[in-house]
Structure 1
């Protein structure tokens, strides 16, 4: 009574409609179909039945399996006879579905019929990855109660709705008795069908199996559809479908969606079909239809089978400026209304794109610590804002919408920092170098208020596109900024300066962020004298710098003009046709090459000190490592490095060092040149009454030294706070007589600009030169003092200068018995010995020169006019 043994559902079927009919009549179980496992523990007996023949050992376990993918809409039938008394150690399991070939292994999942066991029953079980088997249908106890002949034929069905039915016939025929029904949809995958037996030593040959039949007569069902990307659909069926798939069997319902360009069954999971679309999926509800889809056995679902899903867009990896930092709370105290916790706000400015943030890193540029990394699954929807804070602060911002609490969230410096968002591939997505000057509000700068981005469409903007929040709570985390407005960047980029980092590398400095791709074209740049450029490399993360690699090394101290033909900023503004700056490979500095040119040691309220230096040599110098020091009593020096990076100081160049460029700009808006001002982390403390400033090179060797005093200021000034002392003559000595208060008409200080009181050295060979011969001591920056210059034939003279009015009365003892060099000068500020402004009129300067070594004595007279402006 051999029956059809294994239908075409089992893997290995040669065609979609064929059935495998192995009745063991061929005397083996190794082919058609092939059973594997404990092959030596089974045999085909003379009755052409599969019989156990394992070792006669109590507790033995033997198994055979054959590939089979039966799932739902399936009927399983088999015949068996257990010629033994079943018990807890003597039973058989027929696995209808198994996801692995080893039925003995922990972790194998599926369903099986147990024959025997302690209850002597026929029952259906489910086996999960862990734990003991679970009843699906608990059969009647004592069904298999014979000590030597437990004959039974079993039929199990599973509908496409996952309803299981268990039936048996104890005569071995097909007049079935229902054991029960149940619904169970736990396992939806199968790879194997198999038999398993465990027995005591006397029963090693007591299990007989025959007439296995697995029938799938149900057409496949479409369970669901999903879109892994804009042009991909994945359809999930309830069972394996035919290997060959046609795009013509699938379409999007409604007729308005993109066509299906290709269809293919998944290589690993035969229940999946992947569709490739000719265009992007539409947003919203999408329904996909399947027609005439066959399973692996020729059962065809005429259809249409449908599945609907919601397309809310597809998360994409953000590119440059597609993910923005739009708000920063660096100084959280005193709290105005926001949580007293640092945070930044991120924003997706796109109207359609969902951003995949997984692996995106937030970090402070230059920090050596681990960055804050967004976790897998983190997304930002179109137009959405989110708060980013430390992992322990998430609860504080829960009421503000989406929050990402990240481990290693960077500590934000109140005064300013450079924050960078990098993609998981390391590319820069966004950069901002904020400063507390961006608040534009002294009160809000003190804490509790956020900095907000004004125009998200201008992501490259700097201070002009940020300001303090105007919201009463101090900020707008999780929503549009209170200062949001149209603020486009229409300014073309500017080449500020160039510096030779080494003989074959030139760094260009630009005034704003560049289009990094466009800036990487070597043909945009030329050098004169000509030198070949082999590479142009924009420097991240802000791309304000471009490094040029030269084919041949530069000659030290030789001026070179670099010209940029055309370049773009990061929003597409183009520069003019030609922009050029001059640089040179710097050479070592020597004492006297650079002098202290201007000192502000007693700033206004809220102001800052500055020290300006002048390169009076013909050398191109690099100030990297230079120090500014304040000399204390006893000669101790408190010094600070003014530049840890290379900064070129050309011949005649000025450079002012200060701790806050923004403060200097606010207090001296008309007299500062920011391009020649270098903001430094710190300056030594400069006493307001008197002190000594020292300039040192990178090896701490003195370059210049100036002693200053508030008494050097023009005594006509009512308030000297905020008034700098300026060097008068570049080539003159670094002494008090060569410094004068900056002119009021110049704003009382000229950081980065030529001094308001500077004078050129006199020309000619006269022993004494007086200029101007008419001066107006009113601190307007025009002829505020007169200068008496001398040129002597030899050193060793002693000089005195006495000033008399037109009536011969003593007005000022300007110089008394001063030892002179061969060249120098004295200045008269128009004040008398009493500290009063001299009256308008003529004055006579009596100059007496005496040379002690030879006894020579000479007298000279010069006339000068003290005037006044009306």
Structure 2
């Protein structure tokens, strides 16, 4: 009793993992394994072989059984035809099929036997839908008896996709190689079967025996979790390195997403090695980590502990006017430079730029020369600045880009004239933001606007509001690609102020307070500044900055050198900071510092 139980358990495991073995010695084809299809047109003969039954009509009949082996596999069987095969009387052995109906469209491979005359070849074909192509063309073989064909066939396919077709036309096991080929088009299977096409007079002449489908090399490699992605707000697809055994793959407790827990159900995907995890509540935007345990592949190999993969999900959102704003433009680059357009995510959520477009305007003011920003999903975090340009490296060389990963390289930008034009950010037919610019927007005292970006002052005001775009400050290099604009308003500032980070500095190279930091902060933008250093006796020793456009907030540094390039003496110095507004208002600030040195 124990031996019988053990045998049944082993058989059950064997069948579960996809292996097929049937010599019909049990006298049937309905169990161990179970064959389906044209069952009424086949029988088991006295020699315990599968045989086609006599029919009064010409037709094609098939039998098939479950098979999941597709690579690292060896197929064997015996075929006997008691007639001279031809195009109207032939047999196929379907090694791999994704469909039960072997007489219809499918994806798979088969060996075909049946050519006119007593010279037959054994050939391997690939079938894609209804398209059939030969991938191994075996040589013709002479039969002693033209009305009797007997062959034992062996086909192998390794993990690299190399097929080898062997035959013994005496029905023994002295195999001869018919040919080889490499093809990895279809690497999964659901069914194995036989296909018999006949006229009525040949209907009972097909005999098959000794079907065997086994591993070519024992598989001891466990499956791994390759990736995961969100299909919709309730469904996550998990993709594995190979097909899984069904019962473990469909167990929800084997899957867990951090902060979400186990799914409520698991279903097989359209991909053989993928499974869909369904959750009860919609996933919010964010980063996720999926962990899988206890699942097994078709050979019974269990996945390693704590297989994990990360994925990101962005909840569907349609961009609307005001979500993405024009923050900065450079349309008159310096020699060797390129145009760039900086955009700002004005929302509190991550936005996908896949549908975003950039344009200029035609003579009627309508969007023209429209360019797609990105062909794939591109995620822009909330409240960040991103730069659109054709040559990010050039922009990074000419300007201080604090966030170098916040660039989008486009194959081309719409054309923008230096003197005037329009920059339009849009989605489909909807304009999200538009800036009609002219060179007169630059600060009036600017002698040369080449290489000077126009920066947005306020994101609460319209792009077209008077004075909402101004020249980027000279003190920050005339452009702030990827970060806060130098001329951007800060409503928390209520008073103009100039201060020193420390009242004392010692330029001795010891790494501590080697330079004097002069910080400034202004309520309004568009200011110019001159900064001079005086000795305690009122002698001008250093013109640190002269009539430079400055940001609304920033700093200057003095390294202790005078205008002659010499180190200033230890002592007290006065910093005079003069700020000039475009309306003619002048404001003066004074700070005192000490240039110190170490005592010997």
For this structure pair, what is the TM-score category when the shorter chain's length is used for normalisation?
0.5 to 0.7
1:222 to 2:223 alignment: yes
Using the TM superposition, give the Cα deviation of residue 51 of structure 1 relative to its aligned residue in structure 2, in angstroms. 1.8
Post-superposition CA distance 1:782-811 (Å, at most 9, x none): xxxxxxxxxxxxxxxxxxxxxxxxxxxxxx
Question: What TM-score do you get using the length of structure 1 for normalisation?
Answer: 0.40
Alignment-derived partner of residue 467 in structure 1: 470
Q: Secondary structure at the match of 1:337?
A: coil
Alignment-derived partner of residue 207 in structure 2: 208
- Report the Cα distance in structure 2 between the residues aligned to 1:120 and 1:305, rounded to whole angstroms: 53
1:404 to 406, 410, 413: 410
Alignment-derived partner of residue 185 in structure 1: 184
- Residues 292, 308 of structure 2: 8 Å contact kept: no
- Report the Cα distance in structure 1 between the residues aligned to 2:182 and 2:225, rounded to whole angstroms: 20
Post-superposition CA distance 1:583-625 (Å, at most 9, x none): xxxxxxxxxxxxxxxxxxxxxxxxxxxxxxxxxxxxxxxxxxx
- Report the Cα distance in structure 1 between the residues aligned to 2:446 and 2:57, rounded to whole angstroms: 89
Post-superposition CA distance 1:158-200 (Å, at most 9, x none): 5666565655555556x46364777643312334333334568
- Residues 316, 355 of structure 1: 8 Å contact kept: no
- Report the Cα distance in structure 2 between the residues aligned to 1:380 and 1:291, rounded to whole angstroms: 31
- Residues 220, 301 of structure 1: 8 Å contact kept: yes
Aligned residue-pair number: 452
1:294 to 296, 300, 305: 296
Alignment-derived partner of residue 82 in structure 2: 83
Alignment-derived partner of residue 52 in structure 2: 51
Q: Secondary structure at the match of 1:187?
A: coil
1:112 to 100, 110, 123: 110
Alpha carbons of 1:234 and 1:484: their partners in 2 closer, same or farther (altered >3 Å)?
Answer: farther
Which structure is larger by alpha-carbon Rg, 1 or 2? 1
- Report the Cα distance in structure 2 between the residues aligned to 1:183 and 1:258, rounded to whole angstroms: 45
Using the TM superposition, give the Cα deviation of residue 94 of structure 1 relative to its aligned residue in structure 2, in angstroms. 0.9
Give unpaired runs (5+ residues) of structure 2: 1-7, 396-406, 495-581, 586-600
- Residues 237, 277 of structure 2: 8 Å contact kept: yes
Q: 1:425-444 counterparts in 2 under 5 A?
A: 430-436=432-438, 439-442=441-444
1:273 to 272, 275, 300: 275
- Residues 219, 294 of structure 1: 8 Å contact kept: no
Alpha carbons of 1:270 and 1:210: their partners in 2 closer, same or farther (altered >3 Å)?
Answer: same
Alpha carbons of 1:249 and 1:145: their partners in 2 closer, same or farther (altered >3 Å)?
Answer: farther
Post-superposition CA distance 1:106-139 (Å, at most 9, x none): 7x43222233558734454444569753436x65
Alpha carbons of 1:99 and 1:33: their partners in 2 closer, same or farther (altered >3 Å)?
Answer: same
Using the TM superposition, give the Cα deviation of residue 81 of structure 1 relative to its aligned residue in structure 2, in angstroms. 0.8
Alignment-derived partner of residue 543 in structure 2: none
Alpha carbons of 1:167 and 1:9: their partners in 2 closer, same or farther (altered >3 Å)?
Answer: farther
Q: Secondary structure at the match of 1:402?
A: strand
Alignment-derived partner of residue 490 in structure 2: 488
Alpha carbons of 1:413 and 1:123: their partners in 2 closer, same or farther (altered >3 Å)?
Answer: same
1:241 to 2:242 alignment: no
- Report the Cα distance in structure 2 between the residues aligned to 1:143 and 1:354, rounded to whole angstroms: 71
- Report the Cα distance in structure 1 between the residues aligned to 2:223 and 2:133, rounded to whole angstroms: 30
Using the TM superposition, give the Cα deviation of residue 450 of structure 1 relative to its aligned residue in structure 2, in angstroms. 6.5
Alpha carbons of 1:193 and 1:444: their partners in 2 closer, same or farther (altered >3 Å)?
Answer: farther
1:135 to 2:149 alignment: no
1:304 to 2:304 alignment: yes
Q: Secondary structure at the match of 1:222?
A: coil
- Residues 358, 423 of structure 2: 8 Å contact kept: no
Using the TM superposition, give the Cα deviation of residue 363 of structure 1 relative to its aligned residue in structure 2, in angstroms. 6.4
1:385 to 2:386 alignment: yes
- Report the Cα distance in structure 2 between the residues aligned to 1:306 and 1:143, rounded to whole angstroms: 58
1:34 to 36, 60, 65: 36
**More displaced stretch, 145-154 vs 15-24:** 15-24
- Residues 112, 125 of structure 2: 8 Å contact kept: yes
- Report the Cα distance in structure 1 between the residues aligned to 2:27 and 2:347, rounded to whole angstroms: 70
Alignment-derived partner of residue 609 in structure 1: none
Alpha carbons of 1:437 and 1:192: their partners in 2 closer, same or farther (altered >3 Å)?
Answer: same
Q: Secondary structure at the match of 1:293?
A: coil
- Report the Cα distance in structure 1 between the residues aligned to 2:72 and 2:261, rounded to whole angstroms: 29
- Residues 9, 68 of structure 1: 8 Å contact kept: no
Alpha carbons of 1:90 and 1:406: their partners in 2 closer, same or farther (altered >3 Å)?
Answer: farther
- Report the Cα distance in structure 2 between the residues aligned to 1:406 and 1:55, rounded to whole angstroms: 71
- Residues 289, 304 of structure 1: 8 Å contact kept: no
- Report the Cα distance in structure 2 between the residues aligned to 1:301 and 1:455, rounded to whole angstroms: 62
2:356 to 353, 356, 360: 360
Q: Secondary structure at the match of 2:187?
A: coil
